Amino acid sequence: MALLVLVIALAIIFDFINGFHDAANSIATIVSTKVLTPFMAVLWAAAFNFLAYFLIKEHKVANTVAKTVLESFITLHVLLAGLIAAITWNLITWWFGIPSSSSHTLIGGFAGAGMTNAVFMGQNAMSAINMAPIIKIVIFIFLAPIIGSIIGYLINVAILHICKNARPSRADTWFKRLQLVSSGALSFAHGGNDAQKVMGIIYVALISAHQINKGASMPGWIPLTCYTAIALGTMSGGWKIVKTMGSKITKITALEGVSAETAGAVTLFITEQFGIPVSTTHTITGSIIGVGLTNRVSAVRWGVTINLIWAWVITIPISALIAAVVFALVRAF
């Protein structure tokens, strides 16, 4: 029972860290355009993170995450190692201001620990992995930012065409107001998408500890706890990543902020409906790039973008490696 409590506690801590690590995704553009102060922006984002608890009743993303590792290879020690790895990599990337994916960190850690457990059981490491959700997740590492980029580009072009005769000062005032709506929508989608991943881990932990039966309904306290944790984490902010997302990729105006946030929210809403645990970080980064491309290709700082892509690529394997080491240590002691 003590191990189960520890796993649940670490899952909630990860959710909190996910909130402040990914707060930049929701508030970077609204802060960089000076629509809200950083303090007001995190309160705004946290409120919409938590609003998802009342409106999202199906947890398709949680179900996908729970099925990443096959049931016969899941133990509380596997979950413990996966969470420790995910928390470690999240803190490292937060410290260096790298907007990596909390989603892929968690999935990489879970998968890495499960694969290591399979090896200790005398089986092939890959036998622990449920390839269907893993393939879907890997494909959307690349598809999510592309989709966000395309939608961001199209929305920005459409807005520019519609508002081509508008007075600049009046248009800017309206777009700053609209940014409150688009930022709220993105924060809502972020909460609904990311909180579910931890729900899946806690649900699996309860099954592994024989506290609930396989296929049982998710206890009501799990969604409430996860949405609360991610909202509180968002309120704590992640200012290093805000700087990267809000100004280093491309210069953002209020109009472009509306386009990028709307594109990010639409992409997350679509993928959530299909139960695909995509990265909020990847999605909004792609949306910002798409908006930057409406000006000119050189408006995007490609050096920064390439560094971000490398961070995305290595997140799952590094998290898996950390989890493998942690699991081996846990098993040894």
More confident residue, 310 or 136: 136
Angle of helix 2-32 versus helix 102-120 axis, rounded to 10: 150
pLDDT per position as a tens digit, 205-245 = 999 999 999 889 999 999 999 999 999 988 876 554 455 44
| Gap between the Cα atoms of 53 and 57, Å rounded | 8
Domains in the chain: boundaries: 2-332
- pLDDT at 299 exceeding the cut of 60: no
| Gap between the Cα atoms of 291 and 284, Å rounded | 10
Q: Pick from 150, 145, 190, 189: which is nearest to 285 by CA?
A: 145
List, in order, residues 6 or more apart from 239 with CB less than 8 Å away: 24, 38
| Gap between the Cα atoms of 100 and 89, Å rounded | 9
| Gap between the Cα atoms of 312 and 308, Å rounded | 6
Which pTM does this prediction carry?
A: 0.87
How many CB atoms neighbour CB 328 within 10 A?
A: 16
| Gap between the Cα atoms of 48 and 42, Å rounded | 10
The two tokens of residue 109 are: 């850690």
